[in-house]
């Protein structure tokens, strides 16, 4: 693909949709997509728990969430199902943007580091992504293909905005 060529409006729209869905998810989900909510009866009352598979395998880690009869908690549990389904949709959008629109993607390790820092609150605390991985994001943001994206170092650099 030629550099500095405008991205098709379809891909720009897909990218905008991906950004909006990601923002929605970041504000509402504090539970791992690999887990699930379960209602458990204890002494005649029902409570929500969140189960996640143990990293070493064989069983679940269970975390108390709250009573089933609390409408706010039950509403969040139901919304989680939609967010979990939306994760697959967001992954399909990313796949389409990288495969069909030829947008760059970071190396898996760099992506995992950025994701974990985001989950830890780095970006909410004015953290800023700079360097190669940030440059790879510019093409989608600007709606144009950029020069030499593949010839970068592939590392993730961070700064803090004061």
CB 70 within 8 Å of CB 82: no
Q: Are 91 and 40 contained in the same domain?
A: yes
Q: Are 27 and 47 contained in the same domain?
A: yes
Q: Are 149 and 85 contained in the same domain?
A: no
Res. 113: pLDDT tops 80: yes
Within a domain: 38: yes
Long-range contact set of residues 74-83: C-beta below 8 Å, sequence gap at least 24: 74/48, 76/28, 77/37, 77/48, 79/28, 80/29, 80/31, 80/37, 83/24, 83/25, 83/28, 83/29, 83/33
On average, the pLDDT of the chain sits at 83
Within a domain: 71: yes
Q: 75 or 148: whose pLDDT is higher?
A: 75
Over residues 38-44, mean pLDDT: 93
Over residues 101-114, mean pLDDT: 86
CA torsion 107-112-114-119 (nearest 10°) is: 160
Please tell me the distance from the alpha carbon of residue 38 to that of residue 62, in angstroms, as a whole number. Answer: 9
Q: Are 78 and 141 contained in the same domain?
A: no
**Tokens representing residue 33 in the block:** 């997509």
Res. 3: pLDDT tops 60: yes
Over residues 93-116, mean pLDDT: 88
| pLDDT band with cut points at 50, 70 and 90 for residue 28 | low
Q: Are 98 and 115 contained in the same domain?
A: no
Q: Are 21 and 98 contained in the same domain?
A: yes
Within a domain: 127: yes
Q: What is the pLDDT of residues 46-98, one digit of tens each?
A: 999 988 888 777 788 888 888 999 988 888 788 777 777 787 888 899 999 99
Q: Are 97 and 139 contained in the same domain?
A: no
Total domains in the chain come to 2
Q: Are 123 and 162 contained in the same domain?
A: yes
Within a domain: 1: no
- Residue for token pair 């970006």: 123
How far, in Å, are 6, 45, 95, 113 from residue 99 at the CA level? 17, 50, 6, 22
The residue from 77, 103, 129 where one domain ends is: 103
The SS3 of residue 34 is: coil
The residue from 61, 79, 103 where one domain ends is: 103
Q: What is the pLDDT of residue 24?
A: 63
Which residues constitute the domain of residue 88? 8-103
Within a domain: 63: yes
Q: Are 16 and 73 contained in the same domain?
A: yes
Res. 27: pLDDT tops 50: no
| Sign of the alpha-carbon dihedral angle for 67, 43, 53, 96 | negative
Largest CA distance in the chain: 67
Within a domain: 2: no
Residues of the chain with pLDDT > 90, as a percent, come to: 23
Q: 82 or 139: whose pLDDT is higher?
A: 139
């Amino acid at each position: 693909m030629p550099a500095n060529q405008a991205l098709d409006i379809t891909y720009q729209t897909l990218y905008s949709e991906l950004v909006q869905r990601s923002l929605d998810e970041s504000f509402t989900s504090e539970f791992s997509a690999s887990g699930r909510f379960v209602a458990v009866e204890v002494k005649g009352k029902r409570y929500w728990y969140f189960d996640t598979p143990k990293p070493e395998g064989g069983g679940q880690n269970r975390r108390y969430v709250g009573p089933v009869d609390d409408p706010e908690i039950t509403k969040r549990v139901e919304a989680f199902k939609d967010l979990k389904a939306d994760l697959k949709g967001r992954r399909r959008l990313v796949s389409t943007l990288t495969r069909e629109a030829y947008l760059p993607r970071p190396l898996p390790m760099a992506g995992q580091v950025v994701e974990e820092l985001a989950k830890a609150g780095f970006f909410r605390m004015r953290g800023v992504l700079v360097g190669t991985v940030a440059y790879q994001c510019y093409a989608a943001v600007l709606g144009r293909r950029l020069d030499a994206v593949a010839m970068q170092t592939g590392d993730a650099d961070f700064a803090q905005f004061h």
